[in-house]
Amino acid sequence: MSNTADIIIIGAGVHGASLAFHLAQRGVKATILEKTFVAAGATGRSSGLVRMHYDTQVDSQLAWESFRYFRNWKELVGGDSGFTRTGFIQIVAREHQDALRKNTEMQQRVGIPSFIISADDVKRLAPAFVTDDFDIAAYEPESGYAMPSDTANALMNAARERGARLVQNCAVTGIQTSGGRVTGVETAQGLFSAPVVVNAAGAWAGKLNQLAGLELPYDTWRHDTMFVVRPPEIGPSHPTVIDFPKEIYFRPEGGLTLVGLEDGNPLGESPDGDADHAKAGFVERAIDRICERVPVMEKGGLHSAHGGYDGITPDQHPLLGLAGLDGFYLDCGFSGTGFKIGPAVGLCMSELILDGAAKTVDISSLAPGRFAAGKIVQGNYQNIWH
């Protein structure tokens, strides 16, 4: 088979798969090069939250457009994303209530079904929760979670059905250029040529940027999660929650509850580090936190714990767009929050590559050159969550 393509995508996580799918819908058959297998990196380790609450409009718009896909997956993509509606609650400390209200008002202007509810309302939704340390919360009744590996594989299968080519066990080792533009890549399986190359390699994207001669601020970010067996007193399920007073988030999955922490996540480690086990001390800290919010969890039991790596930028927003070389695009740096916006980012990036600009959501503020221009992305209100 010829190793010449119209577009090469490096990385088969949810973002590489989404871009391949949206390009294929436009009749462009991309070749996706993956160093191991689909969803092997950040996607496969994602917590899978599907919610729209952000403090910047571009993030909320991307999440809202993506939600259209999660809600109508079989019709729009095919296969199954595993989306499960649980409702989503954003809890903040009392001193951040004004920011929470303003963020929710912004989301409502976008069209998102998001509402301010009282602590008493949270108690009615989740009787096992402690609610005496906050007065209000934001609530999205339609939100929940999806299964990240299923989502990425469904997008990739749909792309391949439309003509995309997936090459697995194919690590990229070099970026080929000529006259200031990209011409292809060197890999463990030989040379692949294309006038357009997209770096969607997640935690490994920084190394590829260096191979392309780019000097961009980019690092790795490690995040551990655990699953606990939920005690029957809580009931068959509970809402998905981001809890900033406790610096924790959690969601149900069958009879288990996934728990992650918002603090103590190290930067700068090798993305090839041990992701099969959580860091020492993580489980103990996570158990303490979840029991502070849901005391009856003390009757639960540890099921499993693991880690994961993603790429992170200084403003914790992705790099989306052309960078350095003509034809070299970045679709990376999602800083641990990229899963839920994957469908929309793939659509917007396909528009940017094929039409010169994204029209579904304006992603120009996320261009890779923003750091050199001193235009970092900041929350419209008070940036109190990652």
Of 276, 151, 286, the closest CA to residue 222 belongs to 276
Answer for the pair 262, 97: CB distance below 8 angstroms, yes or no: no
d(CA 12, CA 1): 20
* pLDDT average, residue stretch 217-231: 96
- How much is the pTM? 0.96
**Which residue bears the tokens 């490994």?**
204
d(CA 299, CA 287): 11
* pLDDT average, residue stretch 257-271: 94
Give the pLDDT band (50/70/90) at residue 119.
very high
pLDDT at site 385: 41
Taking the mean position of all CA atoms in its chain, how far away is CA 176?
A: 29
pLDDT at site 44: 94
Of all residues in the chain, what percent carry a pLDDT higher than 70?
Answer: 98
Does the domain at residues 7-46+149-218+314-370 carry the CATH identifier 3.30.565.10?
Answer: no
d(CA 70, CA 64): 10
pLDDT of 382 over the 90 cut: no
Of all residues in the chain, what percent carry a pLDDT higher than 90?
Answer: 95
Tens-place pLDDT, residues 10-42: 999 999 999 999 999 999 999 999 999 999 999
Tens-place pLDDT, residues 288-320: 999 999 999 999 999 999 999 999 999 999 999
What are the CA-CA distances from residue 177 to residues 174, 182, 324, 356 (Å)?
Answer: 10, 4, 11, 21
Backbone φ/ψ region at 336: left (φ over 0), alpha (ψ -120 to 50), beta:
left
pLDDT of 225 over the 60 cut: yes
Q: To the nearest whole number, what is the mean pLDDT of the chain?
A: 95
pLDDT of 347 over the 80 cut: yes
d(CA 72, CA 125): 26
pLDDT of 1 over the 60 cut: no
Q: Where are the domains of the chain?
A: 7-46+149-218+314-370, 85-144+220-312
pLDDT at site 40: 95
Tens-place pLDDT, residues 147-201: 999 999 999 999 999 999 999 999 999 999 999 999 999 999 999 999 999 999 9
Tens-place pLDDT, residues 94-104: 999 999 999 99
Does the domain at residues 85-144+220-312 carry the CATH identifier 3.30.9.10?
Answer: yes
d(CA 2, CA 56): 43
DSSP string, 263-317: S---BS--TTS--SSPPTTHHHHHHHHHHHHSGGGGG-EEEEEE--EEEE-TTS-
